[in-house]
Amino acid sequence: MGDTRAVLDSEEYPNTEVQKNRVLTLEEWQEKWVDHKIGFHQEQGHQLLKKYLDTFLKGEKALTVFFPLCGKAVEMKWFADRGHSVVGVEISELGIREFFMEQNLSYSEEPVMEIPGAKIFKSSSGNISLYCCNLFDLPRANIGKFDRIWDRGALVAVNPGDRKRYSEVMLSLTRPGFQYLLSVFSYDPTKHAGPPFYVTDGEVKKLFGSVCNIQCLEKVDVFEERHKSWGIDQIIETLYLFTEK
């Protein structure tokens, strides 16, 4: 792990506007799953989430936890196994089916009447419900409010031009007393077009600061061999905790 004191921040990468017009279509995301280009998936789960799990859960029982752009995140089963209720949203039906298959969970599926073409996949135990649809359509389904949101690979995957709309949807899903964990990345955006997109500390505060207290829990150098193909030599992950103001 690199020296966190030497961690890069927005002033090191002044050209933060270079990605602002980048757009990936939902079809392109679905193709990533079909082509198995899912380097963002972490088979062992997220290490910083493991480290801060007690901080996130605060010892509370039977929480509702939301996973935006959930993919087949193994952490969904972590929370369910601890007695919490998990709701996720994902555009790739393949990703959702792989989650249930890889976690050896039986499930049912049914259409979501409020959203044409959308489906909901529910574990037989009833405590994991995954919606297959566009995240921005999800509020039409009246999915309720959440005690916890785990935002990893979500804000950083949303097209930069959609971030304000995204943050508004996320905040609309929070319940009083919520805790919201956010993971973002910092790297030279002139060398890699994203996703994941570069999100600055200033952007996080602009999107969430009016409603949330924002605490930076940790910054970690997460550079791996695969990142060399992006043309970068350093990538920093920052974990934030949002709480209600």
- Calpha distance 187→215 (Å, rounded): 21
Angle between helices 201-208 and 163-172 (to 10 degrees): 50
**Neighbour tally for 7: CB within 10 Å:** 17
pTM of the model: 0.92
Number of domains in the chain: 1
> Taking the mean position of all CA atoms in its chain, how far away is CA 27?
19
Which residue segment(s) compose the domain that 211 sits in? 26-35+45-50+62-244
Write the DSSP symbol of residue 17.
Answer: G
Q: Provide the pLDDT for residue 38.
A: 60
Q: Are 199 and 156 in contact (CB under 8 A)?
A: yes
Residue 10 lies in a domain: no
Domain containing residue 83: CATH number:
3.40.50.150
Residue 9 lies in a domain: no
Which helix (H) or strand (E) segment is 66 a member of?
strand 64-67
Residue 8 lies in a domain: no
Q: Are 162 and 20 in contact (CB under 8 A)?
A: no
- Calpha distance 210→196 (Å, rounded): 25
Residue 18 lies in a domain: no
Residues 8-33 have pLDDT tens digits of 444 456 677 899 988 888 888 788 76
Residues 73-117 have pLDDT tens digits of 999 999 999 999 999 999 999 999 999 999 999 999 999 999 999
Closest to 186 measured CA to CA, from 212, 204, 168? 204
Closest to 236 measured CA to CA, from 13, 12, 8? 8
Q: Which residues pair with 56 in a beta bridge?
A: none
Residue 204 lies in a domain: yes
Sign, CA dihedral 241-29-16-228, equals positive
Residue 30 lies in a domain: yes
Residue 40 lies in a domain: no
Retrieve residue 184's tokens: 């973002």
Percentage above 70 pLDDT, the chain: 92
Q: Provide the pLDDT for residue 240.
A: 98
- Calpha distance 104→123 (Å, rounded): 10
Residue 115 lies in a domain: yes
- Calpha distance 225→175 (Å, rounded): 40
